[in-house]
Structure formats: structure tokens, C-alpha cells
Amino acid sequence: MRVLGFMTGTSLDAVDMAVLETDGETISAFGPAGERKLTDATRDIMLAATKEALAWPRGAAEPAIFAEAARAGAEEHFAAAEEFLAANGLAWADLDLIGMHGQTVLHERPQAGRVGRTVQLGDAGLLARKAGVPVAYDFRTADVAAGGEGAPLAPIYHLARARASGLSAPLAVLNIGGVANVTFWSGGEDIAAFDTGPGNGMIDLMVQARGAGRFDDGGKYASVGRVDDGVLAGLLGHPYFREPPPKSLDRYDFSLEPLDPLELEDAAATLVAFMAEAVKAGFEMIGQAPTEVIVTGGGRRNPEIMKALRSRLPMPVKSAEDHGWRGDSIEAEAFAYLAARTAQGLPISFPKTTGVPKPMTGGKIVQP
């Protein structure tokens, strides 16, 4: 199948797009990839939906803004893909399937006595009708309903991507988006994964809260800041880091309040150290020593983050591009791959990646 995958991360930066030719097991070809920045209108409505989601009581009716935001998301995806396909000499008729993750506005991990909640907004039916192509969507809720974390879901694609590159186990793939997550491949079909801790999300939120931009571009603030060891120790004292994997996070799970006394630059440097120390702790907890770590996602573009990882991990830390991967497009590729697996009835989550009791299929498909 030729599949177009979409991903919009919690940074609310862009619609990422990538085309794969795959049967849901092997990858036969990598098509074009690209992005289109979110419009201010879509970003604003997703931020408003996120705010209402965070205050949404369990058992209460879904906030009305969800439907409005879902429609806006679908329209944004369609407009982005229209430009993308035309620029790459493709048409909707050239696609067999679309994989749309949707915009995460809420992710609550399971707690004692209750299942988690996860909400990704995007009107898949509207997108299917406009594109004239089936859309696979809603990849996380079945996993959550079965008692899983609902995240991360990209590990099975990380395995396929590593094999497509001829790489060998043991290795790790570290994705640094709003939250950082790691996939460990020990060999064969053996993959384990979990969220290590914050990625770019806390840095973005802190910078935005101080009116200093939308993110720390190139690590310019962190590069001239000093790590506050006391604040760092307090952040690392969060109970999440004592829990065994698999486990998952929302970028709002950690408070920015401990950073309030720090200057902008010192706060940024401390958050970079926090992210890297959390990754280190995750590697130590799982007790695996991969031969290398491949870093994907927006975090790899921050030289301070890469420097912090290389100073703390005992194995080589490489950027996705070192292996010819498209580091900004891995998650869009992943949801193209997961869409194909959904169409084939193949599992997308596993006991050692999300904590479900057995390998599970997931996702739904809506026809045009």
C-alpha cells in the first residue's frame, strides 16, 4: 500500500507528512516527506481545547470545543496535504490509505483503580470525504481501554525502520518531542519502550510563559545558562521516575513552579539537564546497554540537548540523519506504518511497550 501518514505533535508547530510504501511489516519504499506550519487559528483552537481537556471531569460530557477543534484539525491536514502532494507530483488518487494521529489534547496514564484517558482530535470522516481516501485513526483508545498506557506507539515502526537500514540489535531509538520516549531493540522481535520524561515540552512552556518566544531556538537560552542543582534534584524526585516501565506521560505532568526563581537562561539549562538525567535514569532502570542511541524528533536540533545526552550516556549518541533517517518525519512515517498495520489487522501495541496484557491491534478505518 502507498500510505500518507500525518502527525501533529504537542508542540503545535506543524502538520508533519510522509509517504511510505509498506504492507505493515516491511517497508518497500520511502516516499516524500514534509511539513506545513500550523495556522494561528488552528493553533489557538487546539490550545483552547487542551485547556478545557485538562479541566474536564471524568464522567462529564465531552467539551463542545472538541468537535470544533477536530473539524479545524481535519481541514488543516487536508490543506497541508493538498500543497504537499502537488509539490511532489502526487494526487489523492495515488494513495491507498491515510494514517492520521490527530492532535493530543489530553493524555492521562492509568492510575490505581482507574484506566487512563487519551484524546486525539481530528475529524477522520471529514478528511476521508474531502480526500476520497480511507483514513485510519484513533490508534490509542483501544490500548487504554485494555489497561495499557496508550503510548508510546512508534516502537514497532522503530524496529521496522532499523531493519530497513540494515542495523543490528541491540540499539535504542530516542524520540524527543514534547515528551521523550525510548525504544530498546534487543534482537529478533523483542522491543521494549516507555516515556523517559519531559522532552521539549517543558522548555517550550517555560519559554512561552515568560514571553521569550515559542521555543528555545537552537538552545540559545540554555547555552548561556547554569544548571541549578537544587531545582534539578527536586524535579528528579518526582515519583514517576521510581515507577517501572512501561509508563507514559503528558507534557503537563510536571510543574514549572520550581523554576520560577530562576532566570530564563538558567531555567532552560536546568530543564535540558532534567531531560537528559531522566533519559539516563531510564536506561539504568531498564538495565540495557545498546551499542548506540539514535535520536529523532525536534530535540535533536537543540545542540544543548545533544551535548547533555552525550555527556551522560556511555554509548554513542547519534542523530537520525547519521543513518540516513528523516529525523523530523519519523512519527509521520510511523503513523503511515501503523495505518497499514491497522488495515492488515496486525498488532500495534505490546506488553513491553504500553503494558497491555497481550499484543493488540488498534486504530479504526473510516471510508470516504
pLDDT tens digit string along 199-233?
A: 999 999 999 999 999 999 999 999 999 999 999 99
Q: What is the pLDDT of residue 86?
A: 98
Beta-strand pair 97-100/103-108: unpaired
pLDDT in the model for residue 183: 97
Give the model's pLDDT for residue 112.
Answer: 79
Per-residue pLDDT, 113: 79
Q: What percent of the chain has pLDDT over 90?
A: 95
Cell numbers placing 236: 528528579
The grid cell for 114 is 482507574
**Residues near 330 by Cβ (< 8 Å), separated by ≥ 6?**
154, 157, 158, 161, 175, 296, 297, 320
At residue 287, does pLDDT exceed 90? no
DSSP 242: G
Question: For residue 114, what are the contacts with CB-CB under 8 A and spacing of at least 6?
Answer: 58
The Cβ-side half-sphere exposure at 360, using a 13 Å CA radius, reads 27
Are residues 185 and 170 in contact, defined by beta-carbon separation less than 8 angstroms?
Answer: yes
Q: How do the residues of the chain divide into helix, strand and coil, expressed in percent and rounded to 5? A: 40, 20, 35
Q: What is the DSSP annotation of 109-156?
A: --BTTB--EEEEE--HHHHHHHHTS-EEE--SHHHHHTT------THH
Average pLDDT of the chain to the nearest whole number: 96
Q: What angle (nearest 5°) sits at the alpha carbon of residue 180, between those of residues 37 and 229?
A: 115
Would you place residue 10 in the very low, low, confident or very high pLDDT band (cuts 50, 70, 90)? confident
Of 111-120, 170-179, 239-248, 251-260, which range is least confident?
111-120
- Report the largest interatomic distance among the alpha carbons of the chain, rounded to a whole angstrom: 57
pLDDT at 308: 98
Q: Could you identify the residue written with the cell 515507577?
A: 243
pLDDT, position 289: 86
Grid coordinates standing for 304? 544543548
pTM: 0.96
pLDDT in the model for residue 266:
98
Q: How far apart are CA 306 and CA 349, in angstroms?
A: 29
pLDDT digits (tens, 9 = 90+) for 12-67: 899 999 999 999 999 999 999 999 999 999 999 999 999 999 999 999 999 999 99
AA identity, residue 240: Y
pLDDT tens digits for range 328-347: 999 999 999 999 999 999 99
d(CA 320, CA 323): 6
